[in-house]
Structure 1
Amino acid sequence: MQNKFLVPVALLSVVLIGVFAWNVHQDTQRVYELTLATGRKTGYYYPFGQAIAEVVMQQNPRLRIKVVETEGAEENMRRLEANEAQLAIALNDTAAVPQARVIASLFKEVFHLIVSEQSGIQSVSDLKGKHIALTRKSSIAYISFWLLSKHYGLKPSDFQFTPGDWTEATKLFASGEVDAIFRVAPLGSDLVSDLLQNTPGKLVPIDQAAAMKIKWPYLQADLIPKGTYKAAPAVPDVDLPTVGVEATLLVRQDVDPVIVKEITRILFEHRRNLVTANRLAAMISQPSESGGLALPVHEGAQAYYDREKPDFFAANSDVIGLSFSFVTLFVSWLLQLRSRFLQKQKNRADKFNLIILNLIQRIRQAGTFEEIDRLQEELFEIFKQVIGDLDKDRIDADSFHSFTFTWETALKIAAEREKALRNLSLVSHDLKADFTDIKKIEN
C-alpha cells in the first residue's frame, strides 16, 4: 500500500521539477521590450532616454527600450496611463496619473527667467504688461510658468505671451520683439549660456521658492551659482535664488518588478557608463519623499533600494515555493549544487585575474608601441568576456570588483610603459641629432 502511494508522489515531484525547469528556461530566453516617452529631440529628455536605453541593453541584452519623441510631460503621462509607454520622464511638477510609479530621480532643473536689459524687469511681478516667450503648450516649462505666475498673482491677461520652440524664442528675444524668456533647464545649460553670452540679457531672481513649496511641495528652493554662465564678468554676478524641480523616471505600476529592479540596478551600478553617454546622469539618485511626484516608488525599484535589508521570505520566495513540493527529496542536492556553482564562479574569476597578471608582466617588457597596443586590445577583449560572464552569472559581483581593480592597474601600467617608450624615443632622437652635428663639425 505504501509503495502505491509513493509512486504517484514521486511522479508528481518529477513533473513539478520539469515544469519549473521549463519556466526558468523560458524566462532566461525571453526578450522584454519597453517604450520610454521622453520629449522633443532638441530637449534634454530624449538624449537622456537614449543613454538609458543604450546602457540598459549593454548590461542586459534581454531588456530593449524604445525611446520615443513626444511633445512633453502631459503627453508622457497620457501615454503611460494608456499603456502606449511603459516608462516616461517627467518633472515632478507634472500632474500624475494613477498608473504612474517612480523608479529614480534623474537630475535637477531650475527655473530660468531671462529678461532684456531695456525691459526694466527686476522681479517676476514686473512681467505685468510685458511680452514673454514661452515653450510649447504641452511642455514642462510652459506648465511650470503658470505655477510661477499664479503664485505672484499674475493672470494670462496681464501680459502677452508667445509659445514656441527655443530657436523661435531666441530670435524674438534678440530682435527685441519679446521682453523675457522663461525656461526650465539644468544648471549650466548650453542653450541658456549661448543666449546670455550673445544677447544683452540677464537673469532675474525668483526668491519665493519656500513660499511656493507650501502649495506645491515638490518645488525646492535652489540657486544659480555666481558665474554659472560666464566667468568674467560673472553671469549671474551673485548667487541667484530660483526654484528647482526634479526630472523623474516613471514606470507603469503593472510592469514586472523583476524588470524594474534590473533597470534600477543598471542605473545605479553602471552610472559611469551613463555619464559617458550623458553628463546629467551624474545626478541620478534615489527618490526622496520631499521631492517626488507624491507617487509611491515601484515595488521593483524599492526592492533594489532595500537590497541590504534582511528579508528572508522576499529574497527566497522562489526557493520556498519550489521546496514546498519536494524539499525532503532535494535539499541536500540543492546545497551541493550551490556550493559547486559558487566555487565555479570563484575559479573562473581567479583565472581571469591570472591572465591579467600575465599581461601586466608582458606590458612591462614591451619594447614597441605596437606591442603595447596589441596588449591593450587583449585587455579590452578580456574585459568584454568578463562583462558577458557577469551578465550570465558565471562570476559574481564581488569577483567582478576584484577583477576591475586588477584590470585598471594593467591599463595604468600600459600607459606608463607607453610614456616611458616615448621618452626613450625622444632621447634616442636627440642623441642621433647630436651625433650628426658632431660629424658635420669634424668634416
Structure 2
Amino acid sequence: CHSNDRVSTSMQNKFLVPVALLSVVLIGAFGSKLHQDKQRVYELTLVTGNKTGNYYPFGQAIAEVVIQQNPRLRIKVVETEGSHENMRRLQANEAQLAIVQNDTPAVPQARVIASLFKEVFHLIVSEQSGIESVSDLKGKHIALMEKGSGSYSSFWLVSQHYGLKPSDFKSTPGSWNEGTKLFASGEADAIFRVLPPGSDLVSYLLQNTRGKLVPIDQAAAIKIKGPYLQADLIPKGTYKGDPAVPDTDLPTVAVEATLLVHQDVDPVIVKEITRILFERRRNLVAANSLAAMISQPSGSGGFSLPIHEGAQAYYDREKPDFLAANSEVIGLSFSFVTLFVSWLWQLRTRFLQKQKNRADKFNLIILNLIQRIRQAGTFEELDRLQEELFDIFKQVIGDLDQDRIDSDSFHSFTFTWETALKIAAEREKVLRNLSLVSHDLKADLTAVKKMEN
C-alpha cells in the first residue's frame, strides 16, 4: 500500500514540476510583454505642407505638445507640397497623420481626428492690373502655389466656376517666396493663396506691394460643386486698421484645415492625441495661435469620412448611456423619448457651435490687434490699441454672462488676450528704448554744435 502511495506521489511530482516550470515561463513572458508595452515608444509621421505656409509650423506645434504630455508618442513632422500629396502618402501608409484642406478628394484609408482652423481664399491683384473680379483674370498672369497643394486645386475650382479656361491666362505654380517675387516685381498681375484670415504672409504682401484684395462673391454657387466649401467674409480692417484693409467686409470662400489619421492606427493612440489637442489647447496656442480654433469635426463642414474610433471614443467620453444607439429591445415608448432627446441634442449642438463661432470671431479680432500692436510706432497708438483690447474683453465678459460663449471658449480667448497684453508691454519697452536712444542722440548733437560754436 505504502509502495503504491510512493509511486503515485512520484508520478504526481513528475507531472507537477513541468507544469510549475511552464507557469513560471508564461507568467514571466506575460510580465515582460506588459512591461514592454508600458515602455514602448510609438513613432508616427505627420505630413503637412511647405515650411513657409501654415501647416508645417502647426504640425511642429502638435508634435512638441504631444511629446511634452506623453513622451511615448513621438511625431515626425514632414514637409510636403500640400494636401494632395498628403492624401497619397496617407493612402500608401507612408504617413500615419496628415493635415489636409477639407475640399481635397479623400482616400478610403483616411479617418478624421479634428478640425484645426479655418482658411479663406485670398485673391490679391496689382492696383495697376485693372482686375476687379475673378473674371478679369483673363489675359493676365497669376502666381499659384505648387501643384499638388490644396491652394492650387482650389484656384482651378474657382476659375472654372467663373468660366475661365487654363488657356485664358498665364499661371505659374511655385512656393510662397517665388510667387511673392513675381508679384512684387510686376511679372505677375495676381497671386492666389488659401490662408487663415489675418495671415502675416498676406499682411506683409499687402503692406509692401501695391496690391489689393479682390472679392470672390459667388461662394454659395461654388459650394454646389465643392460641398465642403463655405461662404465667408474677410472682415473690414483685417490686414490694416487705418486706412482699413480691406475697406469693407470682403466676400470670399472658406475651407477647414483638418487633421486626418490612417484607419489602422491604434485607437488608444488616436484617443490620446485627441485628448491632448483639446485638453492641452493652451499649450498649443502658446506654440501656434491658430490652435485656438481647434474643434470637433462636424458633418456639415468636413470630409465624407468617418471619425476615427479613437477620436470618437474621446468625444463620447461623457456621453450618457441612455443616448447610445437604439437597440431592438427598446419599446415604442422609449423610441419617442429618444427622438425627443435627439432633437434637444441637435439644438444644443447648434447652440454650442454658435458660441464657438462667436468666440472664434473674437480670437480673430485679437490676432488682428496683435499684428497692429507689433507695428505700433507711437505710445498714443499703442494706448489706443490697448484700450481696444480692454473693450473687447468687456464684450466677451458680457457674452459669457449671457451664455453667448461657453467657458471653454472663454478660457481659450483669455489666453490669446493675455498674449496680446504681453506683446503690447514688450512693444512699449521697445518704443521707450527707441525714445531714449533718440533723446541721447539729440543731446550728443547739441553738445557737438556747442563745441563747434
C-alpha distance in 1 between matches for 2:260 and 2:23: 42
Q: Summarize deviations over 1:12-59 as a string: whole Å, max 9, x none.
A: 999998776554333211111101111111111111111101100000
Determine if the alignment matches structure 1 residue 35 to structure 2 residue 38: no
Determine if the alignment matches structure 1 residue 290 to structure 2 residue 300: yes
Determine if the alignment matches structure 1 residue 103 to structure 2 residue 113: yes
State the SS of the aligned residue for 2:244: coil
- Seen in structure 2, the aligned counterparts of structure 1 residues 211 and 20 have a Cα distance that, compared at 3 Å, is farther
Determine if the alignment matches structure 1 residue 116 to structure 2 residue 163: no
C-alpha distance in 2 between matches for 1:309 and 1:13: 42
Letter in 2 for 1:276: A
C-alpha distance in 2 between matches for 1:66 and 1:219: 30
C-alpha distance in 2 between matches for 1:19 and 1:290: 49
Pairing partner for 1:80 from 79, 90, 95: 90
Letter in 2 for 1:79: R
Unaligned runs of 5+ residues in structure 2 are: 1-11, 325-453
Structure 2 equivalent of residue 187 of structure 1: 197
- Structure 2 matches for 1:413-432, cutoff 5 A? none
- Structure 2 matches for 1:111-260, cutoff 5 A? 111-260=121-270
Letter in 2 for 1:162: T
State the SS of the aligned residue for 1:246: strand
C-alpha distance in 2 between matches for 1:305 and 1:16: 38
C-alpha distance in 2 between matches for 1:210 and 1:19: 61
Q: How many percent identity over aligned positions? A: 83
- Give, in angstroms, the shift of residue 310 of structure 1: 3.7
Q: Summarize deviations over 1:48-99 as a string: whole Å, max 9, x none.
A: 1111011000000010101111111111111111111100111001111111
C-alpha distance in 2 between matches for 1:99 and 1:236: 41
C-alpha distance in 2 between matches for 1:142 and 1:42: 15
Count of matched residue positions in the alignment of Structure 1 and Structure 2: 307
Unaligned runs of 5+ residues in structure 1 are: 315-443
Structure-1-length-normalised TM-score = 0.66
- Structure 2 matches for 1:315-326, cutoff 5 A? none
Structure 2 equivalent of residue 275 of structure 1: 285
C-alpha distance in 2 between matches for 1:169 and 1:253: 36
- Give, in angstroms, the shift of residue 190 of structure 1: 0.8
State the SS of the aligned residue for 1:118: coil
Structure 2 equivalent of residue 371 of structure 1: none
State the SS of the aligned residue for 1:177: coil
- Give, in angstroms, the shift of residue 153 of structure 1: 1.6
Point out the more displaced range, 176-185 or 18-27.
18-27
Letter in 1 for 2:138: K
C-alpha distance in 2 between matches for 1:218 and 1:17: 53
C-alpha distance in 2 between matches for 1:302 and 1:115: 43
State the SS of the aligned residue for 2:197: coil
C-alpha distance in 1 between matches for 2:304 and 2:28: 45
Pairing partner for 1:263 from 270, 273, 284: 273
Alpha-carbon RMSD across the aligned residues, in angstroms, is 2.4
C-alpha distance in 1 between matches for 2:39 and 2:179: 49
